[in-house]
Every structure is written in structure tokens, then in C-alpha cells.
Structure 1
Amino acid sequence: MLKRTISALIGAPLFLGLIYMGGLYSAFLVAVLTLFALWEFMQIGEKMGIRTWSKLTTVVTVVWLASLLSGGAEWMVTVLVFWLLIGLGRLALTYPKTSLSEASFNILAVLYSVVLLSHLYLLRQLPNGTEWTFLTIFLVWATDTGAYLIGRQFGSHLLAPQVSPKKTVEGSLGGLLFSVAVALVFWRIAGGATLIMYVILAIIIGISSQIGDLFESALKRSAGVKDSGKLIPGHGGILDRFDSLIFALPLVYYGVILLS
């Protein structure tokens, strides 16, 4: 508990500070997070008995980050398409040495750990990106807090017992309500958009962040591990700490673009 508290007191201000400063600072943050997240994902794959393409996925990640951070958004779709073709092509050329599950896992490694998480940078770069990014982060935290408090007090119906035996339907609804409540506070303080937009984003974040948490739990259960890594004392790895954000960030990014 002490390690967890110390890590939060140090890590949270550093994380929020780099996002607030933006530019090269948030670019550095995203590059570090995605590379560690990819490494953890590959470690999980190895524990599952899957042959991982460490060198190839690292090269694709570097190319993706270079395109992203240099402002070359038009190249990002190109990188994704080529990565998909490379993965499927390797399966076609080396089957049965390369299995479909192996190719799928390695393709997913980049999509999940790198592409989805790097939307943190894309969201920060939007007009009013600081506010939208902080909104997403605090609503994810609010969802986690609400789900824990309500679930502990009133939870009786299990949400996904095979994945996370302690999560309940009541806790999930509590997390969603906390997300909407915090969004209303943001709307009153920051404004900048309509009330309905804040509510929609709160619902999106409240649902997607919980699904992201469950996905990472299912991934770890498949590998038989408790944590994705040990980088953050008391919290586990990057994927453990950012699993909820990974699902929420892209949805908020495209939601803001569509609703603005």
C-alpha cells in the first residue's frame, strides 16, 4: 500500500505535468509509454507460449511514432495498412511455421499497445486539447473510483466473473454515474462545449474504460500472470495502469472531432 501511494504521488503529477506542457514533453511521454507497453504486451505473449516478433514490432512502432510525432498524420493510415499486410504476408509465406494466432497476436500488439495508446498525443494536439485530455483522464479515474466504492458497498451481481471475479454490475453502473457527475463539474468549470457533449463523452468514457480494464484482465488471465510488468511499484506495469485509458482515448479523440 505504501509503495502504491508513493508511486501515485510521484507518477500522477509527472504524468499530468508532461501532458500540460504539451509539445515535445507530451511527445516524449507518449513515446516512452508506448514502447514500454509494447514490451509488456510481448512479454505476456511469450508467457502464453506465442513466438513474438520483437524486432519487427519495434521497427514498426518507431516508424509509427516518427509519423505521429512529426505531424505526418497522412502517413499513419499507410503505416497501419503496411503493418497489416506485413503480418498477414509473413503468415502466408511461412505457414505453418507461423500460425494464425502468432500473426494475430503480433499484429494486435502494435494496434493495442502503440496505436490506441498514442491517441493520448493526438488528443492533446487538438484545439483545447489540454482540457479534453484532462477530462478523459479524470473521468477514467472517476469511473474506476466509482466502480470500486459502489461495487464494494452494494455489489452483488457479478459483471464478468471469469475475467474479474470482484467486478459487479452495480459497481459498473456506479462508475458510469461517477463519470457523468465529474463531467458535469468540468462543464460548469471549463465550459467550452455543450452540456450534451460532456454527457455523451462521459458515457463513452465510463463504458469504454471499464471494457479496457476487463480486456487487459482477460489478457493477463490467458497468460496466467497477475501484472503486466513491474515498472510502477505497487501498480504493476504500464498496461496495468493505462488499460482503461487505452480504450477511452481514441473514442474521445474521434468523438470530439465529430461532435465539435
Structure 2
Amino acid sequence: MRQRVLTGVAGGAFIAAVTYFGGTIYDFVYFGITCIAIYELSKVFFNDGFDYGAIVNYMFAIALFVEKATKYQHFFDLFLFLYISINFLVFVFNKKTDIKKVSEIIFIGTYAVFFMYHMMLMNSSPYVWLVYIIAFGSDTFAYFTGKLLGRHKLYPEVSPNKTIEGAIGGIIGCTFLSLIFFNYLSINKYFYIIIFSVSASVFSMAGDLTASKIKREYGIKDFGYLLPGHGGILDRFDSVLFVAPVVFYFVQYFL
């Protein structure tokens, strides 16, 4: 537990500092996190962090990083088309590649690369803090509510310790924190904020359950050992991956 707390405090301080300063360093850090996530998932799916399926996703991550860090931001659609097309062509012309392999490659590209890309899109935006507030706040409220009041299992086949009461506590806590955040920014669209907060909290839990289901299906405890006491990058950022797009599109279309 002591090691877990120390890692959490040090890691949280590092990410907070990187987010506060923003800029190129922020993009580089999240590009690095994306590549580590690709490596971890590739080790799980292909038993090789540098399998050609992993390399295709590293290239996709590089393309999106370059697209974000330069003036060529209108190239996203082209890069996405090329990424999908390359995977389909490999499937057609490589006899050793079956539909399962292609599905796993595109799963990694969607889950680790595309979802995380939204964190880069919010570089220097105040709303990037909302991602952390929802992802970690929802998890914290759910944990303590579950410990105190948890009686009914939420999804025991995937995550035996999660409870319905904990999930409700996470949603309520997330909504409370979001209202404080938006009030600080003098935004009072309370109806939208409440709908958003509930949805974002559900997505945060879905991110956690997605990671848990992958680990359960492949018989692993953690995705890696990079973060002592926590596991791998995906063990810590599983909720962030799902929350980031929700925050980004809410801000884009409803504020």
C-alpha cells in the first residue's frame, strides 16, 4: 500500500505539472503514454510489443502526434483512412493474418491511440483538468461508497469487487465535482452539466471495466510493471481513455 500511495502521489504530481505547463512537453508526454499503452496491449494480444500489428499502431500514433504538433491538423481524416486501409490490405494479402488479428490491431488503434489522442487535442485547455476530475474522482467516490455501502455486485464476472452502490456513489460524486468545476468557470448550464456528468461517470466506469475484461480474458493481473503498486500505464489510464473523448465532444458541441 505504501508503494502504491508513493507512486500515485509522484505520478499525479508529474502529470499535474505537465498539464499545467502544457505545450510541446505535454504532447510528448501523452505521445509517450500512448506508445507505452500500445506496447502493453500488444504484449497481451500478440505476446510481442514490437509485432507488426504493434508497429502499425506506433506509426498511427506518430502520424497523429505530427498532425497535432504541426499546422497540418486537417490531415486527421487522411491518416485515419490510411490506417484502416493498410490494415485491410494486410488482411487481404498476408495469408498469415486472419480477421481476429486485424480486429485486435484496430482495437488497439481505437482504444490506445484514438481515444488518447483527445488528451492531446485538449492541450492547454482548462477542460483537460475535468478529465482527471471525472476519471479519478468517480473512481474514488465509487471505491469508498462501495466499501461503506456496497451490497449488490455490479458485474462480478469481470470485476468482483465493484458494486451497484459504489457505481451510484461514483456518479453522484462525479456530478458534484463537475458542478464545482463549471461553477468555477462561471458556466451555469446545469441541465447539460448534470446529463454530461452522469454520462461521463458511466464512461469512466466502462473504461475501467473494459480494461478488467481484457485482463480477465487473457488471464493477467496487470498490463505491466511500470508503475509500482499500480501495474502498467493502462491500469492507471483506463478510465481517462474513455472520459477524454466525452469531455472533448461535450465542450465542442454543448458549451
Do the two structures share a fold, i.e. TM-score over 0.5? Answer: yes
Gaps of 5+ in 1: none
Q: Distance in 2 between matches of 1:20 and 1:251?
A: 21
4+ residue stretches of structure 1 with deviation over 3 A?
Answer: none
Partner of 1:53: 53
Asked if residue 212 in structure 1 is aligned to residue 211 in structure 2, the reply is no
Query: SS of the counterpart of 2:122?
Result: helix
User: Deviations for 1:90-124, whole angstroms, at most 9, x for unmatched residues?
Assistant: 111124x2111101101111221111012111123
Contact 2:37 2:234 in 1 (8 A): yes
Q: TM-score, normalised by structure 2?
A: 0.93
Pairing partner for 2:196 from 179, 184, 201: 201
Q: 1:221 to 1:47 in 2, by over 3 A?
A: farther
Counterpart residue type for residue 118 of structure 2: H
Residue type of the partner of 1:115? F
Q: 2:254 aligns with which of 237, 252, 259?
A: 259
Does the CA-based 8 Å contact 1:164-1:217 persist in structure 2? yes
* Number of matched pairs: 253
- Cα gap change, 1:135 to 1:166, in 2 (>3 Å): same
Q: For 1:218 and 1:190, how far apart are their aligned partners in 2?
A: 37
- Corresponding letter in the other structure for 2:130: L
What is the identity, as a one-letter code, of the residue corresponding to 1:241? R
In structure 2, what is the Cα distance between the partners aligned to 1:71 and 1:147? 41
1:63 equivalenced with 2:58 (yes/no): no
Question: Quick check: 1:146 aligned with 2:149?
Answer: no
Determine the structure 2 residue equivalent to 1:104: 103
- C-alpha RMSD of the superposition: 1.7
Determine the C-alpha separation between the residues in 2 that align with 1:241 and 1:26. 18
Which residue identity is paired with 1:107? I
Per the TM alignment, residue 149 of structure 1 is displaced from its structure 2 partner at its CA by 1.1
**Quick check: 53-62 or 101-110, which moved more?**
53-62
The within-5 A match list for 1:222-241 is 222-241=217-236
Match of residue 169, structure 1, among 154, 164, 171? 164
CA distance in 1, matches of 2:14, 2:181: 22
- Percent of paired sites with the same residue: 28
- Structure-1-length-normalised TM-score: 0.92
Counterpart secondary structure, 2:223: coil
